[in-house]
Structure 1
Amino acid sequence: MTIAPDNARQGGASHRFRVMRDFVQSMDDTLPGKFEVTKEGIVHDMMAPVGPHELTTVHLRRRLEKTMPEEIVAHTGEPDVEDASAGIMRRPDMMVIAMADMDVPGSFDPRTLIAAIEVVSRSNPDNDWVAKMRDYPLIGIPVYAVFDPRTGTGAVLTDIHATPDGPRYATRKDFLYGEDVTIADWTISTENLPRYEPEGEQTS
């Protein structure tokens, strides 16, 4: 769901972004889900806090960190990545980043990320497959990897290039769960990643 506070609808782009950013920060720990700022407004993703989404993140983090040097981490959680000039504030499910680049006040600079990784939300898949695929090259994140527990598929997007609509990823490599996938300089297995249950199916 995309929303915008009424007082964000007036004034310039920088004022609008500041108002929405302040609103998002005031909502932290108040309502369930994740709030992010895009050019269209505030995205509220009512994701489940546990289950296949979170377990996928755990598996990916562990597999990546086994292959990476100690100074690089697969970080989950806060803070956001923010580019005020682009009017975008996002919080990837996972950020591959050097520990030295984490030692900053406030939000991370998106251009210091090595990669952003998202696990597709069942409640709002277009946020990961459409909106973030547009936003991440705009703010300079060089690699974007998407894992989709709905379908057991994913994609890695790289090579930012200029287009009439702004920076976009030029290269997309799709994969199926079970295949090896390369994210930046590191290759991991996607074997046995969890899947969402079919809609309406109940577990005993």
Structure 2
Amino acid sequence: MSIVPDNARRDAHHLYRAMREFLESMDDTLPGKFEITREGIVHDMMAPVGPHELATLHLRRRLEKVMPEELVAHTGTPDVEAESEGIMRHPDVMVIAMADMDVPGSIDGRTLIAAIEVVSRSNPENDWVGKTRDYPCLGIPIYAIFDPRTATGAVLSDIHPTPSGPRYATRKDFLYGEDVTIADWTISTVGLPRYGDTPTDSTATDPSS
């Protein structure tokens, strides 16, 4: 019996741990967000303020207005991780039960109700391609993408097996200005900040936040 697959898995595990330890050793000394995929470390140079963070705040507030109190739209740490898959991601917003956050270390993606990303201006492929591939592998049942570059987005759901691994089977595209349903809750996209907008422009017509 060949032992190559076991060796390959062991090598992949060691590589993942090395990348994980490298990110921990930096201890927030570099700007931006660092994540791990099967292809290596992804560095997203997000601006700390501006339309990206404003959009994240709007989405968090709108969701928490319609969700039951035991659920949160969480925007902080920790990461969502599946070491067996060699993936560590950090969604902009995690929709999750508060009780499921009471765990040591990283969060199991299968406990999330949804993950939400506001597309980065510096690395949009990370949100539209990389996370569309990685989030079903983490077991995250719903992935919602909001793109301030184009005022468009999509909600992906229904994980199913494929020869390339788990993938989302259903995609519902939307335009800013339309209502969007994420899991059991519908929110407005009116007034969400776009890249190039000022804070005044992005909130003046928004009746819900």
Q: Same fold (TM over 0.5)?
A: yes
Aligned to 2:152: 153
2:129 matches 1:137: no
Aligned to 1:128: 127
Aligned to 1:181: 180
Whole-angstrom distance in 2 between the partners of 1:182 and 1:98:
18
2:12 matches 1:13: yes
Code of the aligned partner of 1:44:
H
Q: Structure 1: state its 5+ residue gaps.
A: 1-10, 199-204
Whole-angstrom distance in 1 between the partners of 2:32 and 2:118:
14
For the residue of structure 2 that corresponds to 1:85, the secondary structure is helix
2:34 matches 1:38: no
For the residue of structure 2 that corresponds to 1:77, the secondary structure is coil
For the residue of structure 2 that corresponds to 1:104, the secondary structure is coil
Aligned to 2:202: none
The size of the alignment, in residue pairs, is 188
- Normalising by structure 1, report the TM-score: 0.90
Aligned to 2:56: 57
Aligned to 1:115: 114
- Normalising by structure 2, report the TM-score: 0.88
- 1:85-112 per-residue CA deviation (whole Å, 9 max, x = no partner) reads 0000000000000000000011011110
Q: Structure 2: state its 5+ residue gaps.
A: 1-9, 198-209
- 1:53-99 per-residue CA deviation (whole Å, 9 max, x = no partner) reads 00000100000000000000000011000000000000000000000
Deviation at 1:28, TM superposition (A): 3.6
Pairwise CA RMSD of aligned residues? 1.0
Deviation at 1:129, TM superposition (A): 0.2
Aligned to 2:171: 172
Please give the residue correspondences for 1:180-199 in structure 2 after superposition, counting only pairs within 5 Å. Answer: 180-197=179-196
Q: By percentage of residues, which structure has more helix? A: 2
Ranges of 4+ aligned residues in structure 1 off by more than 4 Å: none
Deviation at 1:26, TM superposition (A): 2.1
Q: Percent identity?
A: 80
Q: Report which of the two structures shows the higher radius of gyration computed on alpha carbons.
A: 2
